[in-house]
Structures are given as structure tokens and as C-alpha cells.
């Protein structure tokens, strides 16, 4: 029996694959669990149209991601933090602060979950590299510069 998979099935195929299986496996397991549909001519036609539309949407998303990558690649973000005597930060710089700095400095609204910092947290002053996972294999590289806050900006304690 020929079926169209609606989900990935281990050792059988991936979503939207058309595969041939034994009747009992299809009727007793795949069809009742909603993992597949029978590959009738009408279903095959709908399946082809779905794949065509998905390819069009995929191409548009990929173009937008490439544009965003070109805009972000090589950008440098400065983050001012309170620093102790030996260059250690009070706290750490993480992907949330990097996303906020991108928004403040370049007006780029990036989802914080897509930003990956080397070692996940920055705990000392210096220059670091961060990757932004824009879409699947499309990634942009940022430079994160962590600097000390100026002592003149904070009020002096008596």
C-alpha cells in the first residue's frame, strides 16, 4: 500500500515522503495513529501542491534570512558593565543583554534565544564573539565588546 507520511517515522521515512508499506502496517498502525494518509491520486495531487507552496515560502524565508545575515555580520556591540578590581564583572553578560544592546544600538530586533555566546556567559572585560542563528544553517557573527562603566556616570558615595 502506498502512503504519504504526515510525520517522521523511524526506520520508514520523513514527513511528506511517499512510501510503500504492507497493508497491515498501514491499516493497523500508521493510519489509526494519524502518522500517514493513503496515497490516492487526489491526495498525491494535494501533496504536490503543498510541497510547491512550502518551497515558495521556504525560498522567501531564506532570502529574508540572508538579508538579515548581511545586515548583522561583522557588527560590533558595546556593553558597559560594572567591573571589579581584577577585570571581573559584577554578574555576567548573556544573550539577553546582547539582544537588548542590538536593539538599542542598531535597532535590530533579534530573538534572544537565537544568540549563542562562546561559553554561554561573559564574565570579564574584553572582546568576544557571538553567533546569531538566523535560520537553519544561516548564521551571523557578532563582536561583543564588554567595557567598564565610567566612574563619572555613577554617583559617588559619601
101: in domain: yes
Nearest to residue 77, comparing CAs of 50, 104, 115, 53? 104
My answer on whether 34 and 55 are in the same domain is yes
155: in domain: no
pTM above 0.75, yes or no: no
My answer on whether 119 and 136 are in the same domain is yes
Per-residue pLDDT of the chain (158 residues; tens, 9 = 90+): 999 999 988 889 888 889 999 999 999 999 999 999 999 999 999 999 988 888 888 899 899 999 999 999 989 999 998 888 787 888 888 889 999 999 999 999 998 888 988 766 788 888 999 999 888 788 999 999 989 885 434 444 43
Q: Does residue 15 contact residue 5 with C-beta atoms inside 8 Å?
A: yes
Choosing from 49, 68, 87, the residue where a domain stops is 68
154: in domain: no
157: in domain: no
**Domain limits for position 106:** 70-148
Tell me the three state secondary structure of residue 154: coil
My answer on whether 64 and 83 are in the same domain is no
Amino acid at each position: 500500500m502506498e502512503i504519504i507520511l504526515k510525520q517522521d517515522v523511524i526506520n520508514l521515512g520523513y514527513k511528506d515522503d511517499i512510501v510503500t508499506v504492507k497493508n497491515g502496517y498501514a491499516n493497523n498502525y500508521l493510519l489509526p495513529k494519524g502518522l500517514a494518509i493513503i496515497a490516492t491520486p487526489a491526495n498525491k495531487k494535494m501533496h504536490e501542491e503543498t510541497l510547491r507552496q512550502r518551497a515558495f515560502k521556504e525560498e522567501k524565508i531564506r532570502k529574508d534570512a540572508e538579508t538579515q545575515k548581511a545586515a548583522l555580520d561583522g557588527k560590533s556591540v558595546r556593553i558597559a558593565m560594572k567591573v571589579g578590581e581584577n577585570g571581573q564583572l559584577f554578574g555576567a553578560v548573556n544573550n539577553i543583554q546582547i539582544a537588548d544592546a542590538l536593539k538599542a544600538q542598531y535597532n535590530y530586533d533579534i530573538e534572544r534565544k537565537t544568540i549563542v555566546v562562546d561559553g554561554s556567559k561573559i564574565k570579564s572585560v574584553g572582546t568576544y564573539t557571538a553567533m546569531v542563528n538566523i535560520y537553519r544553517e544561516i548564521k551571523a557573527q557578532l563582536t561583543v565588546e564588554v567595557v567598564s562603566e565610567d566612574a563619572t556616570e555613577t554617583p559617588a558615595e559619601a
